[in-house]
Amino acid sequence: MADIPPDPTDPVQSTAVSATHHSTAWSRAYEIAAGTPRPLPAESVTVERAAGRVLAAPLRAVRSVPAFDTAAMDGYAVTGPGPWTVTAQLLAGAPQPGPMRPGTAIEIATGAVVPEGAEAILPYEDSARDGTLVTGVLGARAHIRRAGDDVRPGDELVPAGRPVNATVAAAAVQAGVERLMAHRAPGVTLLVTGNEVISAGVPGPGQVRDSFTGLVSAIAARAGALPPARRHVSDVAALLESELAAARTEVVVVSGSSSAGAADHLHGVLDRLGAAWHVRGVACRPGHPQALAELPDGRWVVSLPGNPFAGLVAALTLLEPLLHALSGSPPAVLPTVPVRGTTRLMPYGVRIVPVHRGTPWHIAGPVSSAGLHAAARADGLAVLPGSWTDGDPAQILALP
């Protein structure tokens, strides 16, 4: 049996049940984060500086590839019937000799400009040379790459919406592109709340090491955002409010302070600042108290619950699709695979569990919303709806 019946004594399950009127379905929350923000404006950047950004316009070739008729083999450029008299040697990058006359050959290197009048390249392995005389039989292929065979000026190399990875950058440079139009990369500020949270050293009594900086940085990097600026904020409402006001990035991520405790000030502060709530609680476990709000000046605030596994789930549910959208990427389609195993399902929402890759994928075992060890050993997180049964397909979130 895949299903374990809901546990009415589980405080989070009962919270989630009572919150069904307020919280957003997980798939809807993901859609809102992916679909609400507009991409940041485009700007012209050098190919080198565009790495990791998303193309705002199709990338078009400026020059032909190859740019000139190019020898595709080491051997002899020949013209007319053989045998041929070798008149010169031509290496790649060397200046062009004059036009070839019938019955002559030029010893040529792969990548050299094919001399005017050459009909084919006779590869060394198909030829015999005696002094200045070369003999051989030409095959069906001329072994000449003609200018523009691969790409011509104006051809679309890569459509808009694709990230500029190293391969795109290399293709751009090959086709003579120096600058391209890319969306600006979103800036991120991470406000780590909690008096008990420390960023280095051995925790003292009641203290914990910060789990979020590395996770948020990795998600920002893979979603096309700039490296986050990080600030630690003590549990004082006025401090959180001034840090939120001071953050000059398009996105502010707040870890902790998402819930109802005496030290959890985020919701009150956002209400005071006049934020619009796009998502305020998600029908999932863990990660129920996560939220997405928009400040009156257009900055986005993502609230990650302080329990580290819950915060990771929230970062994959709201932060990553938000950053993708701002950086101009089309919405990601999450892979769906059959998943085996047992877990306690959520009757009114989804359960998100670490899973191991395999045929089929399988649930990694019990997890709390605080511990990261099961996720650390896993190959992804599976999103299991309340109706899921053992072996049904589930969407997979990629771990950072």
Ligand X SMILES: Nc1nc2c(c(=O)[nH]1)N[C@H]1C(S)=C(S)[C@@H](COP(=O)(O)OP(=O)(O)OC[C@H]3O[C@@H](n4cnc5c(N)ncnc54)[C@H](O)[C@@H]3O)O[C@H]1N2
Considering only 32, 55, 71, 192, the residue that binds ligand X (CB under 6 A) is 192
Token code pair at residue 9:
């004594």
And the tokens for 273?
């600042």
Exactly one of 175, 223, 310, 315 binds ligand MOO (CB under 6 A); that residue is: 310
Task: For residue 196, state whether it binds ligand X (rule: CB under 6 A).
Answer: yes
In this complex, which beta carbon is closest to ligand X, that of residue 213 or of residue 249? 213
150 Cβ partners below 8 Å, 6+ apart?
Answer: 65, 66
The site for ligand X, by CB under 6 A, has a size of 27
Q: Which does 208 bind (CB under 5 to 8 A by kind): ligand MOO, ligand X, none?
A: ligand X
The sign of the torsion formed by the CA atoms of 279, 281, 284, 290 equals: positive
Query: Among 13, 64, 255, 317, which residue interacts with ligand X (rule: CB under 6 A)?
Result: 255
Do residues 299 and 275 make contact, with C-beta atoms less than 8 angstroms apart? no
Nearest residue relative to ligand X (C-beta): 306
Residue 242, number of CB atoms within 10 A of its CB: 13
Residues 80-119 that bind ligand MOO (CB under 6 A): none
CA-to-CA distance for 15 and 38, rounded, in angstroms? Answer: 33
Q: How far is the CB of 224 from ligand X (least distance, A)?
A: 24
Is residue 258 within the footprint of ligand X (CB under 6 A)?
yes
One of 53, 145, 183, 288 touching ligand MOO (CB under 6 A): 288
Shortest CB 301 distance to ligand MOO, Å:
18
Q: Which of residues 284-313 bind ligand X (CB under 6 A)?
A: 286, 288-289, 305-308, 310
Taking CB within 5 to 8 Å according to partner kind, which of ligand X, ligand MOO, none is near residue 197?
ligand X
Kindly determine how many residues on this chain lie close enough to bind ligand MOO according to the rule CB under 6 A. 10
Nearer to ligand X, 64 or 193 (CB): 193
284 close to 347: Cβ distance less than 8 angstroms: no
Q: Does 210 bind ligand X (CB under 6 A)?
A: yes
CB of 166 to ligand MOO, least distance (A): 37
Q: Could you tell me the smallest distance in angstroms from the CB atom of residue 10 to ligand MOO?
A: 10
Residue (369 or 395) nearer to ligand X, CB: 369
* C-alpha–C-alpha distance, residues 196 and 215, integer Å: 19
Among 64, 257, 327, 395, contact with ligand X (rule: CB under 6 A): 257
364-393 positions binding ligand MOO, by CB under 6 A: 369
Taking CB under 6 A as the criterion, which residues in 65-124 touch ligand X? none
286 touches ligand MOO (CB under 6 A)? yes
Type of residue numbered 279: V
Considering only residues 5-34, where is the footprint of ligand MOO by CB under 6 A? Answer: 12
Residue 287 contacts ligand MOO per CB under 6 A: yes
At 283, the amino acid letter reads: A
Q: Which is nearer to ligand MOO, 305 or 380 (CB)?
A: 305
Confirm or reject binding of residue 198 to ligand X (CB under 6 A).
no
Nearer Cβ to ligand X, position 30 or 212? Answer: 212
Among the listed residues 259, 347, 393, 398, the single contact to ligand X using CB under 6 A: 259
Q: Is 307 in the site for ligand MOO (CB under 6 A)?
A: yes
Report the interface residues with ligand MOO, using CB under 6 A. Answer: 12, 285-289, 305, 307, 310, 369
Report the interface residues with ligand X, using CB under 6 A. Answer: 12, 15, 192, 194, 196-197, 208, 210-212, 255-261, 264, 286, 288-289, 305-308, 310, 369
